[in-house]
Amino acid sequence: MTSRGTLLVVEDDDEMRAYLEEELRERGYVVHSAAGGPEALERAASVALDVVITDLMMPEMRGSDVLAELHARDRDVPIVIITAFGSIDTAVETIKAGAYHYLAKPFRIEQLLATVEGALREKRLKEELRRLRDDFEEKRFTIVAHSPGMKKILDLIQRAAAAGTPVLLTGESGTGKELLARALHSQSPRRAGPFLAVNCSAIPENLLESQLFGHRRGAFTDAREDRRGLFQEATGGTILLDEIGDMPQSLQGKLLRVLQEKEVHPIGAPAPVPVDVRIVAATNRDLETLVADGRFRNDLYYRLNVITIRVPALRERSEDLVPLVAHFLEKHGRRLGRSGCTLSPEAMEVLRRHHWPGNVRELENAIERALVLGRDDVLWIDDLPETFRVRSAGAPHLDGQPMPLSEVEREYILRTLRAVHGNKAAAARLLGVDRKTLYRKLEATREDRPPGSHRAPLADTIDGPSSS
């Protein structure tokens, strides 16, 4: 018979404890019991419990103290208080302190059973929601790493996560520095604490100081109440200072104090406030150059530059392109109701040839756009952003081999036609010629074919011999 749950009954009255044990076991529960608070805490340390039922008034240790101790170990264990009528006010206080429910003695066993079932349902719902949330977070922050460079970075992240040492993430915009900072946080002992990210270049200097360090009421005109800064809000967790290279010099000294003294000084406060937070910084700028130019403090740079991780640009990690495309197709396809979509070989080839100035962020945006605008289960070049389509129709790669001018023109027209799925009117517009000129060039390929050539003329390649 499958157990309905594991319960702990804490009751100093021997007859009452034996009665509850018997009734609950008959209903299919695994029941452990204790005659007082100390024994209950000892049992709870060795058994995974689903619900605790405890008397409130006991000689050695009150039920409210048992509640506090157990919740310090596991906040999610529901605790049901049973009490005599005269102590109901006290029982209500325990509800405010976190007890699931209370029952006044004497009670019917059906009342207790209904309460236990309700507590079990709530506990299982919390567990399911936590599992779904964890699954969502895991998928949301998936890092695709098939290339050797990215695998090395993930290894560095894993090793750096265990310490509280500052980490500096460098690399171009869109390479995924914030994603790596979140991965660092999620693998660290601070994972249960908050993760806060602030863009140092997006907030005006006068507001950034208040955002980071906080202020006291009356410190300046609009300071109508005390405000905790982000360093205090992130206590026990991690703060990401994105675009650290753009932090005003007037604030760099205050940040140095946080790193050195582990404290912040809110604007208008009489004294500093201690903080416990790990600092991760990110930048797409060359901090050494900024230091040399006198725009970034060298002492702050060396404080941040304990563990530096350079995130490669997408064009430097070609092995990750196809897995990233698959990841974004699945991620956005599921959200948009377009699961199962794929890219045409031509579209994939366009992505392979792209220079990716916007890196992974640019790729994700391109795939999302294609899923939104595409009509088929296969996404075509036309579904990609305009910049991709124009570049795909550009001059062909010659791979270092000399080609006759007529062959270069032929390949150029052929690529343009393929990019627009054989639409000659669209190809003519892209090529900057009228349709008659394009038709003449298509016909010329028939006449200019070398004797014995096996390459089909353009007109046959795109539309077949009889198309116009």
**112-164: pLDDT as tens digits:** 999 999 888 878 866 765 665 455 444 455 788 889 999 999 999 999 999 88
Q: How far apart are CA 342 and CA 338, in angstroms?
A: 10
The pair of structure tokens assigned to 51 is 């619900």
pLDDT at residue 461 greater than cutoff 50: no
What is the chain's Cα-based Rg? 33
* DSSP string covering 108-155: -HHHHHHHHHHHHHHHHHHHHHHHHHHHHHHHHT-----SHHHHHHHH
CA atoms within 13 A on the CB side of 369: 15
- Mean pLDDT, the chain, whole residue set: 82
Q: What is the pLDDT of residues 324-356, one digit of tens each?
A: 988 888 889 888 998 888 888 788 888 988 889
Domain boundaries, the chain: 6-135, 148-312, 318-378, 405-462
Tell me what the mean pLDDT of segment 368-376 comes to.
91
Pick the CATH number of 318-378 from 3.30.1370.60, 3.30.70.330, 3.20.10.10, 1.10.8.60: 1.10.8.60
pLDDT score, position 467: 38
pLDDT at residue 52 greater than cutoff 90: yes
Domain spanning 148-312, CATH class: alpha beta
Q: What's 399's DSSP letter?
A: T
* DSSP string covering 193-248: S-EEEEETTTS-HHHHHHHHHEE-TTSSTT--S-EE-HHHHTTTSEEEEETGGGS-
pLDDT score, position 419: 62
pTM summary value: 0.57
Ramachandran class of 450: left when φ > 0, alpha when ψ lies in -120 to 50, beta otherwise: beta
Using DSSP bridges, classify how beta strands 195-199 and 167-170 pair: parallel, antiparallel or unpaired: unpaired
Residue 267 pLDDT level (bands cut at 50, 70, 90): confident
**Second-level CATH architecture of 6-135:** 3-Layer(aba) Sandwich (3.40)
| Least confident span in 190-199, 208-217, 221-230 | 221-230
Smallest CA-to-CA distance from 178 within 318, 286, 282, 46 is with 282
Residue with the bigger pLDDT between 342 and 180: it is 180
The pair of structure tokens assigned to 325 is 């495309």
How many of the other CB atoms lie within 10 Å of CB of 439?
A: 15
pLDDT at residue 93 greater than cutoff 70: yes
Q: What CATH code would you report for 405-462?
A: 1.10.10
Tell me what the mean pLDDT of segment 284-303 comes to.
94
Smallest CA-to-CA distance from 265 within 313, 303, 212 is with 212
Q: How far apart are CA 463 and CA 468, in angstroms?
A: 8
pLDDT at residue 259 greater than cutoff 60: yes
Residue with the bigger pLDDT between 377 and 303: it is 303
Q: Which amino acid is at 229?
A: G
Q: Which residues, at least 6 apart from 214, have a Cβ–Cβ distance to it below 8 Å?
A: 226, 227, 228, 229, 231, 232, 264, 266, 267, 269, 273
Residue 106 pLDDT level (bands cut at 50, 70, 90): confident
- Asked if the domains at 6-135 and 405-462 fall in one CATH topology, the answer is no
How many of the other CB atoms lie within 10 Å of CB of 126?
A: 13
Taking the chain, what is the end-to-end CA distance rounded to the nearest angstrom?
77
pLDDT score, position 396: 45
The residue behind tokens 């058994």 is 47
Highest mean pLDDT among 76-80, 336-340, 358-362: 358-362
Residue with the bigger pLDDT between 96 and 42: it is 42
The pair of structure tokens assigned to 143 is 């890092």
pLDDT score, position 412: 66
Share of the chain above pLDDT 90, in %: 41
Q: How far apart are CA 381 and CA 220, in angstroms?
A: 55
